[in-house]
Amino acid sequence: MKPPTHTIGNRQNRVDARGKTTGATRFVTDIQVDNMLHAAPVYSSIPHGLLFGLDFTPAESDPDFVAFFSASDIPGENQVGVIIEDQPLMADKIVRYIGDSVGILVAKTAESAQRLAQLVELKINVLDPVFSINESRDATENFLHETNLACQHQVKRGDLKTAFNEADHIIEATFETPFQEHYYLEPQGCIAQPSATGGIYILGSIQCPFYVQKAVSKALKLPFAKIKVEQAPTGGAFGGKEDIPSEVCTRAALAAHRLNQPVKMIYGRVDDAQLTSKRHPFQMHYKVGVSKAGKILAADIKLEENAGAYATLSSVVSYRSAMQAMGPYVIPNISVESRSYYTNLPPTGAFRGFGSPQAAFGHERMMDIIAAELNIDPVELRLQNVLKVDTETQTGHRLSASVGAEETLRTAAAAANWTAQEVSENPRFKTGYGVSLIHYGNCLGAAGWFMDGSGAKIKVHRDGSISVAFGLIEMGQGALTVVNQMTAEALGVDPARITVLPTDTDQVPDSGPSVASRNVVMTGNAIRDAARQLLRILKEAAAELMQCDLNEIKIENDTVLNTRNAETLPFEELASYLYLSNRPMDVLGWWHVPELDYDALKGIGEAYFTYSYATHIAKVQVDTLTGQVRIDKIWASHDVGRAINPAGLEAQIEGGTAQGIGWALTENFKLELGKVLTDNLTTYLLPTALDVGEIESIIVEDPEPEGPWGAKGIGEPAIIPTAAAIVNAVSNALGKAVNKIPVIPEDILKALNEKSTGMNEDSTDYAACLKSNRKPGQPQYNREKPWPPPNDC
């Protein structure tokens, strides 16, 4: 496929039919509407309790006060759970976390709405909260819902008992991964406006317009046809704007509907951090049986997730982590049990990777632990067990094409010069290398197959310009560029002819959520379907106009060609003739993931229709004096099927890797009794350019027959291997296992002060050496020029 002739980027600019920018596009936070009111959430400051009253009279006397709405004002169903119906739109009997919304306060300005929301008094009988997975799992009464188990999934395959008996080594380990805050640049927000027909129009910073439409319909008892939801240019999402906007938009829509006036609600950063979903914390136990040579024979894996107060997307996270719990390896005997438990913490939900980064941390740390136990090189151990064509995944899915796992491992290892690793000459700094290999099921998988379809609508205008609408969205990942490029390629026209329209629920049928690396695969195939229909119409008109056979018409390089006599026709003339001859000028394309053969009870079969593969290798320096970990370089090799837009792929790889670095090292999310403490950039440390180090992207192409032009997804795989690669590198540097993240300096220093495994005995003595050898007048410590020189200590 030819490279794009122009770049749309982060949707900062609209592009017209000729490919020219039409000016900066505003985010919903900046948009103003006539007669617009402002709203703020009213929520519980208690993590668990019985709600028996609300008093908004302290706010009512303020001249800026307009209205207050609670559960009793909802005309339809007070329910916003996206998969499991366990979450009220507004809590009316029980509050289950600090941030559980009980109402919405509407005022004349945003500032007064925020101020007056604090004056609403909540009357709550406090109940004992539950914060940890262990507390929730072990509880025998006072459950948060009917039970404390939010959801569960499993894989049961082969003869585990016999396989463990035949194993030469049985190795066990436990791992922990933490919360992660999405920290998108633009917080949650929307504008809800009543329509003249009694409906609602919503403009929001959202990932899934169709989710919002369904939620508003349920709460307001309005037909879908009267609810239009449009995605505003969105300043980041990462999964955090999949289901949460259903809450935000529906509450604002309730106020707008009741007041018959536009209502805008934008979360402040502190509220956004406290009220919205996070990445699931996991605790994992792995028991793996292997042969002396390193062949994996059996695995018994327990995954436990903290779901927070409501299930939200926990079912998807539990499913995906279970299906990929032992990674891209051949393993005939396996048991995986994945369970999510309710607690009185903010809900955990969709976050880039849907449980795959957590599972990858488990299986890739486990692979390194096995390699150390057997004294086998970590790359060689993976090569012995890696998936290839005509092998089966842990769920028994036999792979027939596009299995690039081995190539990503070999290309990354070659680029990193794995067999000739560098060693620090300064004993204060310990160099470590770590590898991580993963696979990621594209799209929604067997559990979400019923909704795994997507549409694209292409319209040719009489002047030759073309507009395309698609059911998924742009959120900074470059979707608009690729949609433009794929449409141009499918039709044989110049990309400058094409305008990609904003996504809304009126343009195309429900195309599901913009998640799970679906965009290129789903939209690309829908575009190809639409293009096939449209090209038939265009060629019939061209054959009539040029007086030739239909099969003699080609449309390529923006020109209509009669191959019999080499006569050409400008595309504009064909478009005009199409209009004048009363032919259809727009078509709807649709594509659905192929049907999957999957046994949900046992977790056996085709869990996904195809997989992306990736290997990350990290080189780190561990400062034994300060405990700091510095990323020197990460080599990131990704099997993308077919690289439709290489520059966009590299941007995704770099962005995902940076986000994985933050999760592994700097983003130490803290709560105290259910209250988020790290609710700003002073306390929640996102990685900066100085923290990320060098990233080398390596693109492997192993085309997927079902993918558009052979392409597969990249958005999620970019983050999944990173944390495990870094921690494997840190473990390699220290000579001892590190089995939880984030890896913070305090934990490094603690590990160094514990009894060493014998690989780095001199590390713990370096600080003492510095102190004892310091000369009179010499500074105690200088980060840039440490003294004394290496040969002194």
Q: Which residues are catalytic?
A: 716
SS3 630: strand
In 263-405, the DSSP E strands lie at: 263-266, 282-290, 296-308, 333-342
Amino acid at 557: N
Contacts of 308 (CB under 8 A, 6+ apart): 97, 277, 278, 342, 343, 345, 346, 347, 348
DSSP H or E segment with residue 777: none
Give the span between the Cα atoms of 518 and 442, in whole angstroms: 7
Please, are residues 80 and 88 in contact by the beta-carbon 8 Å criterion?
yes
Q: Tokens in use for 748?
A: 């490094």
Q: Residue 86 forms beta bridges with which residues?
A: none
Please, are residues 47 and 40 in contact by the beta-carbon 8 Å criterion?
no
DSSP characters over 490-531: HHT--GGGEEEPPPBTTTSS----S-TT-IIIIIHHHHHHHH
Give the span between the Cα atoms of 274 and 561, in whole angstroms: 60
Q: Give the Å distances, CA to CA, from 508 to 229, 450, 567.
A: 12, 18, 37
Please, are residues 204 and 31 in contact by the beta-carbon 8 Å criterion?
no
DSSP characters over 8-69: -TTTTEEE-TTS-EEEEPPPTTT---TT-EEEEEEE-SSSSEEEEEEE-HHHHTSTTEEEEE
Q: Is 33 exposed, middle or buried (0-12, 13-18, 19+ CB in 10 A)?
A: middle
Please, are residues 176 and 282 in contact by the beta-carbon 8 Å criterion?
yes
**Measuring CA to CA, which residue among 285, 297, 393 is closest to residue 338?**
285
Strands of the sheet with 149-157, listed across from one edge:
149-157, 333-342, 296-308, 282-290, 169-177
DSSP characters over 131-149: -SHHHHHH--SS-SSSSSE
**Measuring CA to CA, which residue among 771, 737, 766 is closest to residue 751?**
737
Contacts of 760 (CB under 8 A, 6+ apart): 430, 624, 733, 734, 735, 752
In 343-428, the DSSP E strands lie at: none
Helix locations, 195-311, DSSP H: 209-220, 244-259, 269-275
Q: What φ, ψ does residue 375 adopt, rounded to 5°?
A: 55, 45
Which DSSP symbol is given to 595?
P
Q: Residue 305 forms beta bridges with which residues?
A: 282, 340
Helix locations, 448-601, DSSP H: 479-491, 524-546, 571-580
Give the span between the Cα atoms of 355 and 316, in whole angstroms: 8
Give the span between the Cα atoms of 13 and 306, in whole angstroms: 40
Q: Residue 286 forms beta bridges with which residues?
A: 173, 301
Q: Tokens in use for 596?
A: 């999957």
**Measuring CA to CA, which residue among 636, 642, 732 is closest to residue 692?**
636
